[in-house]
Amino acid sequence: MHDKRPTIQTYFEDLQNRICAKFEEVDGVGKFREDRWSHAQGGGGITRIIQEGGIFEKGGVNTSAVTAQLSPLLAERMNVSPQTIFACGISLVLHPRSPIVPTAHANFRYLELENGDFWFGGGADLTPYYLFEEDARLFHNVWKSVCDQYEPSYYARFKKACDEYFYIKHRREARGIGGIFFDYLRGDFGQLFDFVRSCGDAFLSAYLPIVERRRNEPWGERQRQWQLIRRGRYVEFNLVYDRGTLFGLETEGRIESILMSLPPLVRWEYSHTPQPGTREEKLLSVLKEPRDWIAR
Amino acid sequence: MHDKRPTIQTYFEDLQNRICAKFEEVDGVGKFREDRWSHAQGGGGITRIIQEGGIFEKGGVNTSAVTAQLSPLLAERMNVSPQTIFACGISLVLHPRSPIVPTAHANFRYLELENGDFWFGGGADLTPYYLFEEDARLFHNVWKSVCDQYEPSYYARFKKACDEYFYIKHRREARGIGGIFFDYLRGDFGQLFDFVRSCGDAFLSAYLPIVERRRNEPWGERQRQWQLIRRGRYVEFNLVYDRGTLFGLETEGRIESILMSLPPLVRWEYSHTPQPGTREEKLLSVLKEPRDWIAR
């Protein structure tokens, strides 16, 4: 049963190469720094980080393939008995310097239990600081197209799951404008792997057109401060709620690779509230109430 | 049995007044903004925040007295059955702008169950960005003096508990150089309340001499960047591990009051590691291995 593992790992590492090469090309200035690491319990990963680029203030595109002992807490959350689990995936987060360019996140992963049971999880979501409806539509339409090739119900289910997952409960607002999210996707390995590959291959086409559209738009100190405050919400979500972060911390993963998702510079200001009628308030209103972004 | 409640609340609110007045005097520029709020389930609080002061970039001195329904998670952590609990306390965090002046935190609280059982919790700890051993000794000696007036074993126990509590497990380092920490302190109400009052009254004498000593020391961009990175660790601790933060989020407390503890500006840089022999590395080495700060 173990021949699935190298196949998947090879795909994720190839995707990592393609995505990093493209981001370096688009960024023009930044280069990814690579760190290869080993997990104490088996396996390891390839971490690639870009910092202080032309477009990307900070970003990471990581792959890992580890065998790790599940803690009782994690086993309970996964509804399996404590055991050694195989986890292989790609995880990426891009934090542009411009507040006009949204932050993007994607993660695709394969998990396998000792008895050979397996599932896929993953998704991609967008976190704008200023809302451009055409960008949100473009992003969602890409994921709908991918989903529709496999299963008509996927997009609606995974869009809803994304809105529910990337929800900052204590703020009563979403982290961003969503995308797709799925977990415990079980079934025929070949079909599911095809679907996940299509998702991975689609990421650049969902995000780069938005980067290209927005990269040259002007912005100033007001927009920057708003971005720093919104990045605080990103941190709150990732450290308080994100399962992937928790999984990494609980399985004693490589901390710097797990926390690469945190933005480079962040502000917490007491009771910051946008003025009514501003673009900042418009973003918040969309984060309070998820929308349907598919043109009918 | 309920007459303990107003006595304690009055003390904490008086302490809040005294601490805020003194901080405004020392700061010289900043003024505390006050927000009074009500808890959905009963009671409320007084939040006082200083931002962009002369010394304090951000700080909060909060009191609250609430009755809140324990979630099953919280009840389990407290080892009691789910019920309505009364919680009253003061919580303060000061983030100076200068990286040479340490961040200080203190919290004192009283909890009471439906059946009248009660306990006190609290403590005070210091988070320097640069280590001055005489400051660490001063801070710890104040708390030792307070503890020694009540029970010879207190300081050693509470110092150890503080080192254990303010530990960032995933970084394998302490948040700061400690202080004292106690929880579930049960016994004679009068004696315990006296002890907690002595702690509250001692806070200014433990922290202000350090602020006064360090406020005029020069610093530059290198020190500032190090402070921003260390503040990231502060955020990691508070959002991932802090029981008080979790208690607030789980009991649907007032978010802006709970998260006032987060620093105003924070940086996450990938794999930042101080050079050997630097003052930054010296701080880290102390955070990796707690020290005894009491002169023998």
**Residue A184 sits in a domain of what CATH number?**
3.40.1500.10
- Phi and psi at A192, nearest 5°, equal -70, -40
What single DSSP character describes residue B71? P
* pLDDT exceeds cutoff 90 at A250: no
Report the residue of chain A nearest B267, measured CA to CA: A265
> Residue A73: pLDDT band by 50, 70, 90 thresholds?
confident
- Residue A102 to residue A182: CA distance in whole angstroms: 22
Residue B100 has which token pair? 């040479």
pLDDT of residue B158: 98
pLDDT of residue A3: 84
User: Would you call B287 helix, strand, or coil by DSSP?
Assistant: helix
Residues of A with CB under 8 A from a CB of B: 33, 35, 49, 51, 58, 60, 169-171, 228, 232, 235-236, 239-240, 249, 255-256, 259-260, 262-271
Selecting from A169, A256, A265 the residue whose C-beta is nearest the C-beta of B271 gives: A256
pLDDT of residue B101: 98
Q: What is the mean pLDDT of residues A189-194?
A: 98
Q: Are A110 and A120 in contact (CB under 8 A)?
A: yes
Length of chain A as a residue count: 296
* pLDDT exceeds cutoff 80 at B11: yes
Q: Which residue has the tokens 């009963």?
A: B42
> Residue B252: pLDDT band by 50, 70, 90 thresholds?
confident
Q: What is the pTM of this model?
A: 0.96
Catalytic residue among A105, A140, A170, A272: A105
Contact B268 A264 (CB under 8 A): yes
Identify the burial level of B10 via C-beta atoms within 10 angstroms of its C-beta, where 0-12 means exposed, 13-18 middle and 19 or more buried.
Answer: exposed
Contact A58 B255 (CB under 8 A): no
Contact B240 A235 (CB under 8 A): no
Q: For residue B270, is it within any domain?
A: no
Write out the H or E segment, with its range, that includes residue B256.
Answer: helix B255-258
Selecting from A263, A269, A271 the residue whose C-beta is nearest the C-beta of B264 gives: A269
Contact B262 A255 (CB under 8 A): no
Residues of B with CB under 8 A from a CB of A: 33, 35, 49, 51, 58, 60, 169-171, 228, 232, 235-236, 239-240, 249, 255-256, 259-260, 262-271
Q: Are B136 and B249 in contact (CB under 8 A)?
A: no
pLDDT of residue A2: 59
- Distance from the A266 Cα atom to the nearest Cα atom in chain B, whole angstroms: 5
What's the mean pLDDT when you consider all of chain B? Answer: 96
CB proximity list for B244: less than 8 A, separation 6 or greater: B91, B107, B258
3-state DSSP of chain A: CCCHHHHHHHHHHHHHHHHHHHHHHHHCCCCCEEEEEECCCCEEEEEEEEECCCCEEEEEEEEEEEEEECCHHHHHHHCCCCCEEEEEEEEEEEEECCCCCCEEEEEEEEEECCCCCEEEEEEEEEECCCCCHHHHHHHHHHHHHHHHCCCCCHHHHHHHHHHHHCEEHHHCEECCCEEEEEEEECCCHHHHHHHHHHHHHHHHHHHHHHHHHHCCCCCCHHHHHHHHHHHHHHHHHHHHCCHHHHHHHHCCCCHHHHHHHCCCEEECCCCCCCCCCCHHHHHHHHHHCCCCCCCC
Report the residue of chain A nearest B170, measured CA to CA: A249
What are the strands of the beta sheet with B178-185, ordered from one edge?
B33-38, B43-51, B56-69, B84-96, B103-112, B118-127, B178-185
pLDDT of residue B2: 59
Query: B249: which chain A residues are within 8 Å (Cβ-Cβ)?
Result: 169-170, 240
* B130-175 pLDDT tens trace: 999 999 999 999 999 999 999 999 999 999 999 999 999 999 999 9
> Residue A252: pLDDT band by 50, 70, 90 thresholds?
confident
Q: What is the mean pLDDT of residues A154-164?
A: 98
* B41-92 pLDDT tens trace: 889 999 999 999 999 999 999 999 999 888 888 899 888 999 999 999 999 9
Query: A259: which chain B residues are within 8 Å (Cβ-Cβ)?
Result: 236, 268
Q: For residue A195, is it within any domain?
A: yes
- Residue B185 to residue B169: CA distance in whole angstroms: 25
In Å, how far are A177, A179, A273, A284, B194 from A279, measured between CA atoms? Answer: 15, 21, 12, 9, 53
User: Would you call B144 helix, strand, or coil by DSSP?
Assistant: helix
Q: Are A262 and B239 in contact (CB under 8 A)?
A: no
pLDDT of residue A77: 87
* Catalytic (active site) residue A95: no
Length of chain B as a residue count: 296
pLDDT of residue A27: 98
Report the residue of chain A nearest B59, measured CA to CA: A270
Query: B60: which chain A residues are within 8 Å (Cβ-Cβ)?
Result: 270
Selecting from B35, B58, B170 the residue whose C-beta is nearest the C-beta of A255 gives: B170
* A256-292 pLDDT tens trace: 999 999 999 999 999 999 999 999 999 999 999 999 9
Q: For residue A91, is it within any domain?
A: yes
Q: What is the mean pLDDT of residues A199-220?
A: 98
Q: For residue B239, is it within any domain?
A: yes
Q: For residue B54, is it within any domain?
A: yes
Q: What is the mean pLDDT of residues B121-136?
A: 98
Domain span including residue B250: 4-260+277-286
CB proximity list for B291: less than 8 A, separation 6 or greater: B136, B177
Count of structural domains, chain B: 1
> Residue A247: pLDDT band by 50, 70, 90 thresholds?
confident
pLDDT of residue A253: 84
Selecting from A49, A60, A240 the residue whose C-beta is nearest the C-beta of B239 gives: A240
Q: For residue A295, is it within any domain?
A: no
Following CA atoms A262, A267, A272, A278 in sequence, which dihedral angle do they give, to the nearest 10 degrees? -80
Selecting from B49, B232, B269 the residue whose C-beta is nearest the C-beta of A270 gives: B49
Catalytic residue among B39, B95, B105, B140: B105
- Residue A232 to residue A283: CA distance in whole angstroms: 15
- Distance from the B43 Cα atom to the nearest Cα atom in chain A, whole angstroms: 19
Contact A270 B263 (CB under 8 A): no
Q: What is the mean pLDDT of residues A6-25?
A: 98
- b/e burial code for range B173-184 (CB count within 10 A of at least 16 → b): bbbbbbbbbbbe
Q: For residue A296, is it within any domain?
A: no
Q: For residue B61, is it within any domain?
A: yes
pLDDT of residue B73: 86
- Distance from the B242 Cα atom to the nearest Cα atom in chain A, whole angstroms: 11
Residue (of A75, A21, A100) closest to A246 by Cα position: A75
Selecting from B170, B255, B269 the residue whose C-beta is nearest the C-beta of A171 gives: B255
What's the mean pLDDT when you consider all of chain A? Answer: 96
* pLDDT exceeds cutoff 90 at A26: yes
| Counts of helices then strands in chain B (DSSP H, E) | 9, 10
User: How much of chain B exceeds pLDDT 70, in percent?
Assistant: 99
